[in-house]
Amino acid sequence: MRGIAVSRGVSAGPIKILREISDQSRLEPGDLAVIPTASADWVGVLRNATGVIAIRGAALSALGSISREFEIPMVVCGDIDPERIQEGILATIDGMKGEVEIIDPINYVPPSGHELGVEPLGRRARS
């Protein structure tokens, strides 16, 4: 699925669908958060999410700016229907290309930053 590239980086993990702000407490470290909009109200997902997929929003949204600051990959992808996608399924997000790919869990091989020509996965160490 293609969307709008918001924050560069490549990440993979299980999808967690969050419909309400109060759902943020269900997010576990390493989850890919699927949220309805890229508004600043959702900034709490950046605490645990390895990547963010917003259904509506823009690259210059508040959440987009913050995700770039914390180097968390983010894509706005209106093609994702939270009613039809299964929570927990593995996906890869490429915030530079604006792509989201659903992964076959049986044949899943985690992406390597070196193979993809990007920085290694995860947040960079703060000094």
32-53 residues labelled b (16+ CB within 10 A) or e (exposed) = bbbbbebeeebeebbebbbbbb
Residue 109 pLDDT class (50, 70, 90 cuts)? low
Amino acid at residue number 66: I
| pLDDT tens digits, 53-108 | 999 988 889 999 999 999 999 999 887 777 767 888 889 999 999 999 888 666 65
Top CATH class of 4-106 equals alpha beta
CA neighbor of 4 nearest in space, from 57, 71, 64, 75:
75
> With DSSP H G I counted as helix, E B as strand and the rest as coil, what are the percentages for the chain, rounded to 5?
25, 30, 50
pTM for the predicted model, two decimal places: 0.78
